[in-house]
Structure 1
Amino acid sequence: MADPGSARARYRRILWFAARTIAQTWWFELILPRIGFAEYVARGRAARLQGIAKRFHALAVELGGLMIKVGQFMSSRLDVLPPEITNELAGLQDEVPPVDFGPIRELAEAELGIPLERAFAYVDPVPVAAASLGQAHRARLTDAEAEDTGFADVVVKVQRPGIEQIVEVDLAALRRVAGWLSRIRFIANHVDLPRLIEEFTHVSLQEIDYLHEAQNAERFAESFAGDPRVGVPVIAWERTTRRVLTMSDVTAIKINDIDGLRAAGIDPTEVAHTFAQIMFDQFFEHGYFHADPHPGNIFVTQTGMRPDGSPEWRLTFVDFGMMGEVPDELRHDLQQVLIAVAGRNGKQLVDSIRRVGVLLPSADTAELERAMTALFARFGGMGFAQLQRLDPREFRDFGREFSDVVRSLPFQLPENFLLIIRAVSLTSGMCSSLDPEFNMWDAVEPYADKLLREERGNVMGAVAREAASVAGIVARLPRRADDLLTKVENGQLTVDLSRMESRMNRIERLARRVISAVLFAALLIAGAVLRAQDIMVGSVLMTASVIPLLYVVFAGFWRPGR
């Protein structure tokens, strides 16, 4: 890529592919259906999609770089993209051609500042893995280094020569394509593509800085310290630079090697559920997550045997170049989304996604709430395999009924969402490939139950605080009333006698409602506390609290003389 001519050629090829695909989609999906060729378009859709996927597959393998990352993302969307695309791109990661060892050796020695023979006792010239941005070789530390680090067998990850220039060209091409798509009003109104490309640029530049990746690996390991489900390689800092990363060798069974898992006695279904739980922990508890969990970056490592004779194992993550963070406020909002989904609550789900920022505050969501309620009622609780067995006409009918509603809503893609969407997509696709019957609802339920218990605790605390606040107001009312009467007697208060009676009546009603609210809160809290010791007494008190509650709610709707 040092040749400017090859850089220009790469740039033009990416733009040509994008322009051709956009034009083809525009013609077949927008123009022809409007002039009476909808059935013709539908009949040939599968073949067209497969053709596009094949052309992109060939382009990505030939060009490498960030094009591989784009293909990986699309191949993981088993839950959204049709099989014509995902099947064609499924093996893209494994098809990246390796770089000859000569240039790799030259780059590594330049980075480390010494010949490889002095840096390592042994380096295998055949790569154990070739990725889009670098490739990995097995090696062995010298005796002195092994004694310092506590391990000898390592994997040395070396950047592909010239990858920085390749990434620069690919990002420039993606910026241009984003500019084209931003001219389409529907896309521009809902997605700030230039901003997303800049976010992707930031992530990509961090990914080719191996010092940053090493720091990420140690932070990830701290998040799961003491968790037997998760393993992380140890960094050999003395043999690590910005373009060379040396870490303990943790290679084992690839997470998507179903035959290998079964041969080791490991149930792929159990792996799928454990993987989903670990990813949920990253999103909703740690707020720091692996944003590139594709099959090449996760191993299933045997750690021993259980009493019943089945193998113990853990999931070992590698490649921490692409990591994401979920701010505390966003994490809380995402937890509310999860609770709504687990509870099949359409209204709560719409409210939650509004708080996340996907829906603009101006959105009229009444119809969307109805659509979500209908969606849960018809498809809620179904796994990916169950959805595949449904009559496609059901999806078409549902989509036809609510497509206008969704299109009319002012939604947007908030910040911090690019990596979240990528990680969730890869997780969903991975779990579905390990277990075709995998049901995300079942994976969510235990975590959602925990959140619901915490939520109930927060609600009771809020009720108690509100009761204390109301009690304080009631306690101060006599003093304030006395002060008011004193000012009237001393002539310090001007009173509109024509409206005094109605105002006093309102104050009287307000006082009664405040006292009733305090009584309701007291009965409710007392009942909840006593119910653990005496269920009968507790239940009676909680039931009795309904009487003052009804007065609080309905007193405002009744007026004397009506």
Structure 2
Amino acid sequence: MWSVAKDFTPEQVVHLLDQYAETLGDKKFRRETAKQIVLTIQFGRAVPAALERFKPLISAGLEFFLSCLSQNRLKEAIHELLLNHSDSEVGKSIFHLALHFPSLHKVGQVVARRPDIDPDLKKWLVGLEKGSNGSQLEQLIAHIEAELSSLAGGESVTVISELVAEASVAAVIPFRWHSRDSQTTGQGVFKLLRTRVSDKLEEELQALRDTATFLEKNRERFGLHQLKLAELIGELGDDLRKEIDLVAEQHRLVEAFEVYSEDDKVHIPELLPFCTPTMTAMEFFSGLTVGELALPDKQAFELADLICRSIICTPLFWKDDRALFHGDPHAGNILTMQRGDSEHYNIVLIDWTLAGSLSRAQRMLIMRLLLGILKSDSDDIARAIIGLAHDRSSGYGGDIRVLRSAIEGHLQLSGASTGDPLVKVFQLLEHAALQGISFPSELVLYRKAFFTLEGVLNDIHPGFVMSDSVERYLRDLLTKEFPLRSATWFIPQVDDAAAYRSLVSTSDLQSLLVHRTFSEWQQLTEFYTTMFGVSIYLAADWLSLMGGDNND
């Protein structure tokens, strides 16, 4: 059937699928259709080399997941797939499949800009970041008008019949508004869930749970070892539930607006007084996403640096105990705006459905992990990982010696792949998770966000080193902290990393310097003769290590 259906008209394909379902019966039809979808799109060709050993797991998991879905949804998917399939373009088939399933759509957005992904696949997957993918505009506008009728404000709102953007679960529609006296006017956008997306997502979440059970029962077959797959799939389900919680996103938008209020280069959409539990009304920003913008080298580097500082540094070194971070920084969620007539750009961070927060204690441990990597200290690294773990006895049987040995082996294997210590931090956390160590869900989300952003920044400015950006940010922090640090030279007992926004104690900086050779130390102390000079250089020396300049 599958070999000839591509030559049929759409009406003939529908008729053929109905006949096929009637002949096989519901359960067998779903199993066979899922199998044929995976075979037709040749999904294994899309798996990056780094995940080669998981290829059977991914293909079998996708097939089982699809077989758990309703007959009607599978018919819709296979219908479009048969009409758009191309043997030479795997990405095209995967793109059209993902449009039908919010969970696959979200996964596609996340992996679209992985540095190791196939270029032809990437070309299609980036289309999932923004665009119009078939929502019924009339139904969405009818929902907006019904929600507006329940509001008691005196403003006049005119909905514009246009779909600005459409993502995995939501659609965005513009509007104009003015106050009753017409003295105040403005433009905004409504964000609301796509038609039937909640029902579709609930079905997919159950299918994900069933898939996790199936894969857990076949651990040996797929070589899962200590990997807690059910936990990872559960985290994906939690992320998807957050995607449809617009009330929670409204609260996060208010918080994010406050966090970035003092940074004139970063904008967060401000909420407008037309929000309801099923509709978010917010400020409109006109601009291209970072994925749509092509810039000369200097401007591209400046933009990448601004994005890295805003999404990585701002939360990592936030002043309060809890630090909000953007958990889904794919290219479609970062808009750009030119600053007047200049060649410089500001950014707008949109879509805060996936967001989380890290405590100061967690962020200190991340920095402790980074310090351990810079010093090649497997003991420090192991202790930081155990400190970050959700269950400190999970993975490696709770034996720190086994963990330390595994860390040393991983660092030797990955040493040539990247010179960026910050990337190594999150690679180590990912490696630990694959070996069975459980981490809090928000730390897992932060790790995912980091890798998503790594791919985005590499596309903006190929070869961009995130540690260099963090180094520049920290250099400013350490300079501001100098007066406070001065006291620790005389009262070492008060030297506590928690007292500094940089999350690094003076003794930490000194221990890094000891890691350098004695001859380098002599040269440094001869040249920097004053205590002030030595202190500042200690900080700069650590930062240069972080940037990958340590060749010891």
Query: TM-score band, normalised by the shorter chain?
Result: 0.5 to 0.7
Measure how far apart 1:377 and its partner are: 5.9
Specify the alignment match of 1:430 in structure 2. 456
- Equivalents in 1 of 2:231, 2:438: separation in Å? 12
SS in 2 for 1:144: coil
1:69 to 106, 128, 137: 106
SS in 2 for 1:158: strand
Q: Which has the higher helix share?
A: 1
Q: How does 1:110-259 map to 2 (within 5 A)?
A: 110-113=146-149, 120-144=156-180, 151-183=185-217, 184-185=219-220, 189-237=225-273, 239-259=274-294
- Equivalents in 1 of 2:473, 2:532: separation in Å? 30
Measure how far apart 1:220 and its partner are: 0.6
- Equivalents in 2 of 1:421, 1:227: separation in Å? 24
* Corresponding position: 1:443 with 2:488: no
Q: How does 1:285-304 map to 2 (within 5 A)?
A: 285-286=317-318, 287-304=323-340
Measure how far apart 1:283 and its partner are: 3.9
Figure out how many residues of one structure are paired with residues of the other and give that number.
420
Measure how far apart 1:235 and its partner are: 0.7
Q: Please say if residues 11 and 173 of structure 1, whose CA atoms lie closer than 8 Å, have aligned partners that are also in contact.
A: no
2:305 to 253, 273, 281: 273
* Corresponding position: 1:314 with 2:346: yes
Specify the alignment match of 1:107 in structure 2. 143
> CA, structure 1 residues 133+126, in 2 after alignment: closer, same or farther (shift >3 Å)?
same
5+ residue gaps, structure 1: 33-48, 385-404, 468-530, 537-562
Deviations 1:339-365 (A, max 9, x none): 344556555434433332286532414
> CA, structure 1 residues 266+120, in 2 after alignment: closer, same or farther (shift >3 Å)?
farther
> CA, structure 1 residues 57+146, in 2 after alignment: closer, same or farther (shift >3 Å)?
farther
Measure how far apart 1:191 and its partner are: 3.8
> CA, structure 1 residues 178+281, in 2 after alignment: closer, same or farther (shift >3 Å)?
same
Q: Please say if residues 372 and 378 of structure 2, whose CA atoms lie closer than 8 Å, have aligned partners that are also in contact.
A: yes
- Equivalents in 1 of 2:383, 2:458: separation in Å? 29
SS in 2 for 1:326: strand
Deviates most, 203-212 or 166-175 = 203-212
SS in 2 for 1:140: strand
- Equivalents in 2 of 1:18, 1:412: separation in Å? 33
- Equivalents in 2 of 1:323, 1:422: separation in Å? 11
Measure how far apart 1:281 and its partner are: 2.4
SS in 1 for 2:339: strand
Q: Please say if residues 229 and 315 of structure 1, whose CA atoms lie closer than 8 Å, have aligned partners that are also in contact.
A: yes
> CA, structure 1 residues 81+31, in 2 after alignment: closer, same or farther (shift >3 Å)?
closer
Deviations 1:503-543 (A, max 9, x none): xxxxxxxxxxxxxxxxxxxxxxxxxxxx957999xxxxxxx
SS in 2 for 1:267: helix
* Corresponding position: 1:465 with 2:493: yes
Measure how far apart 1:380 and its partner are: 5.0
Q: Please say if residues 76 and 90 of structure 1, whose CA atoms lie closer than 8 Å, have aligned partners that are also in contact.
A: yes
Structure showing greater Rg: 1
Measure how far apart 1:155 and its partner are: 1.1
Q: Please say if residues 226 and 434 of structure 2, whose CA atoms lie closer than 8 Å, have aligned partners that are also in contact.
A: no
Specify the alignment match of 2:385 in structure 1. 353
- Equivalents in 1 of 2:256, 2:88: separation in Å? 38
Q: How does 1:70-85 map to 2 (within 5 A)?
A: 70-78=107-115, 80-83=116-119, 85=121
- Equivalents in 1 of 2:129, 2:208: separation in Å? 20
Q: Please say if residues 96 and 130 of structure 1, whose CA atoms lie closer than 8 Å, have aligned partners that are also in contact.
A: yes
Specify the alignment match of 1:58 in structure 2. 96
Q: Please say if residues 98 and 127 of structure 1, whose CA atoms lie closer than 8 Å, have aligned partners that are also in contact.
A: no
Amino acid in structure 1 at the alignment position of 2:111: M
Specify the alignment match of 2:520 in structure 1. none
- Equivalents in 1 of 2:312, 2:178: separation in Å? 40
> CA, structure 1 residues 16+266, in 2 after alignment: closer, same or farther (shift >3 Å)?
same
- Equivalents in 1 of 2:247, 2:173: separation in Å? 18
Q: Please say if residues 93 and 131 of structure 1, whose CA atoms lie closer than 8 Å, have aligned partners that are also in contact.
A: yes
Q: Please say if residues 192 and 413 of structure 1, whose CA atoms lie closer than 8 Å, have aligned partners that are also in contact.
A: no
Give the alignment's Cα RMSD to 1 decimal.
4.6
Measure how far apart 1:178 and its partner are: 1.8
Deviations 1:364-423 (A, max 9, x none): 145335435545764553699xxxxxxxxxxxxxxxxxxxx9899654454323321321
- Equivalents in 2 of 1:54, 1:230: separation in Å? 34
Deviates most, 411-420 or 455-464 = 455-464
Structure 2 length normalisation: TM-score?
A: 0.63
Structure 1 length normalisation: TM-score?
A: 0.62
> CA, structure 1 residues 319+167, in 2 after alignment: closer, same or farther (shift >3 Å)?
same
Deviations 1:296-351 (A, max 9, x none): 2211123346xxxx444321111111111113322221122233445565554344
- Equivalents in 1 of 2:531, 2:486: separation in Å? 22
Measure how far apart 1:247 and its partner are: 0.9
- Equivalents in 2 of 1:110, 1:58: separation in Å? 32
Measure how far apart 1:161 and its partner are: 2.0
2:406 to 360, 363, 368: 368
- Equivalents in 2 of 1:122, 1:71: separation in Å? 34
